[in-house]
Structure 1
Amino acid sequence: MPRRNNHRPRRTPASATPSSVRIIGGAWRGRKLEFPAIEGLRPTPDRVRETLFNWLQNYLPSARCLDLFSGSGALGLEALSRGAASVTFVDQAPEVINQLRNNLNTLKAQNAELIGRSAPEWLQQRPVNEEVRYDLVFMDPPFRKGLAAPVCTLLEQRQMLADGALIYLETETELQLEQLPQNWQLYREKQAGQVAYRLFIRQAVEQQAQ
């Protein structure tokens, strides 16, 4: 009888072991896609995504979307699966962009753009007169880095948003959001563990001033 090998396999370093995220609705429902196991990269949990996309179900068809701090791409990919017209993914990590490209190719997605830049840098350098105005923005910045409020301000200053645009913001629960644009109205808000997630509606500046 052959001897059983009792030696445990050597562990692969965590940084080299890919993780996966599951698309929970739409054309690609149930598909699992890999993303790199980078420290601090935390996909939006399934139950939070399910709640979010229930909120968004009447807004998604034909929406032009922007996924800032894309990470796993879970939010932007979910939006594409559910009928969004396009998604622009922005992330500064080359391995994130490479894996997103692989996943988009696997899904044969034709309506996605990849930007390998930090979100604040890209927003600051984007021309104000750019024709594209986004209908829906997903924003899940690294926690406790002070990025949420400045990036929200840049979205407004750089005229990135359509009238009536929706902005999803996921942050640590203790973050005080006191510096958001005045024409953003809170529409929905919930918490899950240490995560607070909110959906805002952008009013046109002229409408807000009345």
Structure 2
Amino acid sequence: MTRSGKLHQVRIIGGQWRGRKLSFTPADGLRPTGDRIRETLFNWLAPTIEGARCVDLFTGSGALGLEALSRGAIHCDFVDSSNATLSQVSDHLKTLVAVNRSRCHPVSAQQFLKMATQAYDIVFIDPPFMQQLVGPICEALTKKQLLSGDALVYVETGAMEPPAKVPLGWKIHRQKVAGGVAYRLFSVD
């Protein structure tokens, strides 16, 4: 809990759990993707989210992966190095009766990608800002062949950060800036 004793909340904005509010304990550096950005992102993903296999790297509050499951993704892996944060996501998955469509991995995104063997249709990359984590993660996804044929990769960074270098064959499908956040959706050949 915060000093004021308040939990923070994330609201599912679409799909079968639309309107559900899920509480989480705030932590340093934890900043859930805002409602407006998530709404725009999932409008972009609408044609492909149904039946997609997803991974939410740097899970944090779980807002992106939970939204994906709510909107029809068949599976989502939640990856975060914070056991406390991931435990809250696990509790939310139990509450939403989505445990059979998900898996929580209490490791860093880098460690997870070293172990991963399954290809994903949609990847969410929302790391702590200003730490230059996006480029190496994108490179690992390509090198390990963890992207399906028409994969989409969502990348969220600070608006003042230079765009991360992404592998050849990745094309910006959509991009926007909202406040201090730059967000891009890449299509991967």
TM over 0.5: yes
Task: Give the Å deviation of 1:178.
Answer: 5.1
Q: 1:103-131 CA deviation, whole Å, 9 max, x = no partner?
A: 000001120010000101221x315xx2x
2:111 aligned to which of 98, 104, 121: 121
Runs of 5+ in structure 1 lacking a partner?
1-10, 204-210
The TM-score with structure 1 as length reference comes to 0.86
Map 1:26-41 → 2, pairs under 5 A: 26-41=15-30
Task: Give the Å deviation of 1:58.
Answer: 0.6
Equivalent residue for 2:89? 100
Question: Does the CA contact (< 8 Å) of 2:134 and 2:164 recur in 1?
Answer: no
Map 1:23-172 → 2, pairs under 5 A: 23-109=12-98, 110-123=100-113, 125-126=114-115, 130=117, 132-172=118-158
Alpha-carbon distance between aligned partners in 1 of 2:136 and 2:143, rounded to the nearest angstrom: 10
Question: Does the CA contact (< 8 Å) of 2:55 and 2:122 recur in 1?
Answer: yes
Question: Does the CA contact (< 8 Å) of 1:67 and 1:89 recur in 2?
Answer: yes
Residues 93/17 of structure 1: CA separation in 2 closer, same or farther (3 Å cut) = farther
For 1:117, the aligned partner's letter is V
Alpha-carbon distance between aligned partners in 1 of 2:160 and 2:79, rounded to the nearest angstrom: 25
Q: Secondary structure at the match of 1:136?
A: strand
Question: Does the CA contact (< 8 Å) of 1:68 and 1:139 recur in 2?
Answer: yes
Task: Give the Å deviation of 1:158.
Answer: 1.3
In the alignment, is residue 189 of structure 1 matched against residue 189 of structure 2?
no
Runs of 5+ in structure 2 lacking a partner?
none
Alpha-carbon distance between aligned partners in 2 of 1:192 and 1:86, rounded to the nearest angstrom: 28
For 1:152, the aligned partner's letter is C
Residues 17/158 of structure 1: CA separation in 2 closer, same or farther (3 Å cut) = farther
Segment drifting more, 173-182 vs 154-163: 173-182
Task: Give the Å deviation of 1:12.
Answer: 5.6
The TM-score with structure 2 as length reference comes to 0.95
Q: CA RMSD in A?
A: 1.5
Question: Does the CA contact (< 8 Å) of 2:9 and 2:24 recur in 1?
Answer: yes
Q: Secondary structure at the match of 1:27?
A: helix
Question: Does the CA contact (< 8 Å) of 1:149 and 1:177 recur in 2?
Answer: no
Specify the structure having the higher radius of gyration (Cα).
1
For 1:68, the aligned partner's letter is L
